[in-house]
């Protein structure tokens, strides 16, 4: 059913504070949250992915968080379908929806602003895996640039997984490709669901301080045990933090080197996210200082949200 209340999408770089802002906004308006993070979808990885805690999920209902086996691959097309199903269910309860996360490609897919592959082609995927073993990631990135220069410009040459996934989409046969305006490629736009797309902006110095604090919290919270349990063979083990933790467990770095490598890898990831969101169509930027009030004003004026009655802010149990 159409969501007449509207959807607010809150994106931004990792550790920018968007999750905390989304929680405050959700409690103010009685909203539910749909995650848009390609690593928080995995269960048993809350430390390395900075997934919302059980206490947080008890305060505000979350969807698409911690429901997938770490060995399973997840795609933007599947995310868009799952997110829209969650949005429909939330709308049926008469609640506003906040989509929050840092995976820009997921956000773009949900909005209907990118062509998606209908389903993965095992032959093509095997071919690309073989090519990835034979050639450095920069070679595959050059191949992607020749097929889809706009997409290639948004992916770091060394990001093996995202380069391979983008190549898989770019090389998919025409009859397997979905455009965002096809019926099978349903999106917020094609469904007529109103939405606002917001990016939380944060200066580099403040972001670095938050990243350093997050790294310390991850190490204290059990990142090493979590990485060992997930293992290097899991599809989710290429998320920032896990390769560095596994290298330390293999005796390839000291604890101080691990700490420095975690900060460095997270900063690089945040920089790529910032670059992506600067090119995001139809986006508005807000700074942390007045973000809650500005988002509240926009949500009320443009999406029709009303503040939750006193005592009704809690949105119930966590959802998968």
Could you read off the pLDDT of 273-298 as tens digits, one per residue?
999 999 888 999 999 888 999 999 99
Tell me the C-alpha distance between 9 and 220, whole Å. 31
Give pLDDT, residue 175. Answer: 33
311 lies in some domain: no
pLDDT at 182: 39
> What pLDDT is recorded for position 183?
36
pLDDT at 319: 58
Find residue 99's DSSP bridge partners: 9, 34
The predicted structure's pLDDT at residue 134: 81
- How far is Cα 26 from Cα 122, in angstroms, rounded to an integer? 40
Split at pLDDT 50, 70, 90, the class of 132 is: confident
Of the candidates 214, 235, 226, the residue with the CA atom closest to the CA atom of residue 74: 235
Q: State the DSSP H helix or E strand holding residue 163, giving kind and residue range, or none if neither.
A: helix 160-171
pLDDT score at 254: 97
| Confidence check: pLDDT of 172 > 90 | no
Could you tell me which residue, 319 or 232, shows the higher pLDDT?
Answer: 232
Output the domain CATH number for residue 186: 3.40.50.300
Q: What is the pLDDT confidence band of residue 138, given thresholds at 50, 70 and 90?
A: confident
Averaged pLDDT, 11-30: 96
Helix (H, G, I), strand (E, B) or coil at 244: helix
Structural domain harbouring 166: 122-171
Q: What is the pLDDT of residue 127?
A: 82
pLDDT in tens, 44-79: 999 999 999 999 999 999 999 999 999 998 888 899
Over the stretch 240-285, which tens digit does the pLDDT of each residue have? Answer: 999 999 999 999 999 999 999 999 999 999 999 999 999 888 999 9
Note the pLDDT of residue 117: 55
14 with 100, same domain: the answer is yes
Taking alpha carbons only, the member of 259, 240, 1 closest to residue 102 is 240
pLDDT digits over 200-210, tens only? 999 999 999 99
Q: In whole angstroms, what is the distance from residue 97 CA to residue 7 CA?
A: 5
**Residue 314: inside a domain, yes or no?**
no
pLDDT digits (tens, 9 = 90+) for 78-129: 999 999 999 999 999 999 999 999 999 999 999 998 766 555 567 777 888 8
214, 66: one domain = yes
Contact 31, 120 (CB under 8 A): no
User: Are 68 and 141 members of one domain?
Assistant: no
Here the CATH number for the domain that contains residue 156 is: 1.10.20.140
Number of domains in the chain: 2
| pLDDT given for residue 161 in this prediction | 74
45 and 151 fall within a common domain: no
Q: 113 by DSSP, 3-state: which?
A: coil
* 151 and 52 together in one domain: no
Q: Is the pLDDT of residue 316 over 80?
A: no
Place of tokens 């948004």: 154
Question: How far apart, in whole angstroms, are the C-alpha atoms of residue 108 and residue 97?
Answer: 17
Q: For residue 181, is pLDDT > 50?
A: no
Q: pTM score, two decimals? A: 0.79
User: Would you state the pLDDT for residue 286?
Assistant: 96
C-alpha–C-alpha distance, residues 54 and 74, integer Å: 23
Question: Is position 313 within any domain?
Answer: no
Q: Are residues 181 and 75 in the same domain?
A: yes
Residues 56 and 157 in one domain: no
């Amino acid at each position: 059913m159409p969501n007449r209340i509207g959807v607010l999408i809150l994106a931004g770089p990792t550790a920018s504070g968007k999750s905390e802002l989304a929680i405050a906004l959700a409690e103010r308006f009685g909203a539910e949250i749909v995650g848009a993070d390609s690593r928080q979808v995995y269960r048993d990885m809350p430390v390395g992915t900075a997934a919302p805690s059980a206490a947080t999920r008890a305060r505000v209902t979350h969807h698409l968080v911690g429901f997938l086996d770490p060995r399973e691959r997840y795609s933007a097309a599947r995310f868009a379908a799952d997110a829209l199903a969650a949005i429909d269910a939330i709308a049926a309860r008469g609640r506003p929806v906040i989509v929050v996360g840092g995976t820009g490609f997921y956000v773009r897919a949900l909005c209907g602003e990118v062509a998606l592959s209908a389903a993965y082609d095992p032959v093509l995927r095997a071919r690309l895996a073989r090519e990835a073993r034979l050639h450095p990631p920069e070679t595959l990135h050059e191949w992607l640039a020749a097929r889809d220069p706009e997409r290639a410009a948004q992916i770091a040459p060394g990001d093996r997984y995202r380069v391979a996934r983008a190549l898989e989409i770019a090389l998919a046969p025409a009859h397997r490709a979905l455009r965002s305006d096809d019926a099978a490629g349903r999106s917020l736009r094609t469904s007529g669901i109103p939405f606002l797309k917001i990016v939380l902006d944060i200066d580099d110095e403040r972001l670095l301080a938050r990243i350093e604090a997050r790294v310390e919290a991850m190490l204290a919270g059990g990142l090493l045990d979590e990485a060992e349990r997930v293992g290097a063979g899991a599809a989710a083990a290429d998320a920032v933090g896990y390769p560095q933790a596994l290298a330390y467990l293999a005796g390839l770095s000291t604890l101080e080197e691990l700490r420095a490598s975690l900060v460095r890898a997270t900063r690089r990831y945040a920089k790529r996210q910032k670059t992506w969101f600067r090119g995001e169509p139809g986006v508005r930027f807000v700074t942390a200082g007045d973000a809650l009030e500005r988002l509240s004003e926009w949500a009320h004026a443009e999406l029709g949200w009303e503040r939750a009655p006193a005592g009704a802010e809690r949105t119930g149990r966590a959802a998968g």
